[in-house]
Amino acid sequence: GAVVSQHPSRVICKSGTSVKIECRSLDFQATTMFWYRQFPKQSLMLMATSNEGSKATYEQGVEKDKFLINHASLTLSTLTVTSAHPEDSSFYICSARDSGLTNEKLFFGSGTQLSVL
Amino acid sequence: SQKIEQNSEALNIQEGKTATLTCNYTNYSPAYLQWYRQDPGRGPVFLLLIRENEKEKRKERLKVTFDTTLKQSLFHITASQPADSATYLCALPPLSGGYNKLIFGAGTRLAVHP
């Protein structure tokens, strides 16, 4: 089946630094990828839709200058958390839909646990 | 506004029994509904999709129903096994549009005991 690879799986950083998370579709092309955030025992919250070759679209309340998204190719999207603060500590998960298929299911990466000290 | 409700209480059942999880939604009529499984510290994994014109869908030991009048989906796991222990999430396309997007419920944690 389709595989989405997400790196790193865990990152610990100091407050004020920037962290980049990569999301790759390994065996399919994805014109659209999605970034979610999940706090402990809570639902996945959609942050933004990453569109290949164009600007990402952000959900209401998500700061686009804080969470920079780049989708430079059909298989790679990156999320950069800029000037991270402890409140940004969370589980970030990317997902993608196979552009070659007509169904609506999403394939998810394994997630990145971000801890900001 | 759109609301997706899943039972936040964990469901504890004995191995071999049928687990039934509920997903209720309000304020709109989605074209489809999906169920995912999430293990701790991992991303969700797709299980089943059911469309608004389908009443029931099956896949091996899994069965999903979709009642658009009640605005409810039921997710059943028959002959449950300890390996089925996980959090199960229902997901729908958003009310606000964006057909490709998915909005998730908070999930219900299932624990199957030997």
B44 close to A (CB below 8 A): yes
CA–CA distances in Å: residue A113 to residues B69, B73, B87, B99, B104: 39, 31, 18, 28, 19
Tokens of B39: 């293990």
When CB atoms are compared, the residue of A34, A43, A105 closest to B106 is A43
A93/B44 touch (CB, cutoff 8 Å), yes or no: yes
Residues of B with Cβ-Cβ distance to A46 under 8 angstroms = 94, 101-103
Q: CA B12, B17, B19 angle in degrees (round to 5)?
A: 55
- Name the more confident of A51 and B81: B81
Mean pLDDT over the full length of chain A: 92
Strand locations in B27-97 (E)? 32-38, 45-51, 56-59, 62-67, 72-77, 86-92
Q: Of B89, B45, B49, whose CA–CA distance to A104 is shortest?
A: B49
What would the two tokens of residue A109 be? 């990466």
Q: Answer whether B41 touches A (CB < 8 Å).
A: yes
Q: Is the torsion defined by CA of A56, A68, A87, A24 positive or negative?
A: positive
Query: Shortest CB distance from A104 goes to which of B42, B49, B103?
Result: B49
> CA gyration radius for chain A?
13
A-B CB pairs within 8 A amount to 53
Query: Which residues have a Cβ under 8 Å from the Cβ of B10 and sit 6 or more positions away?
Result: B108, B109, B110, B111
Residues B75, B89: contact at Cβ < 8 Å?
no
CA distance A103 to A86: 38
Helix then strand count (H, E) for chain B reads: 0, 11
Model confidence pLDDT, tens digit, residues B64-95: 999 999 999 999 999 999 999 999 999 998 87
pLDDT tens digits along B9-40: 899 999 999 999 999 999 888 889 999 999 99
Contacts of B104 in chain A (CB under 8 A): 36, 43-44
CA-based nearest residue to A77, from A47, A45, A39: A47
Residue B113's identity, in one-letter code, is: H
Note whether B103 contacts A: Cβ–Cβ < 8 A.
yes
B105 CB near a chain A CB, below 8 Å? yes
Strand-strand pairing, A44-51 and A57-58: antiparallel
| Confidence label for B1 from pLDDT (cuts 50, 70 and 90) | confident
Structure tokens at B27: 């304020």
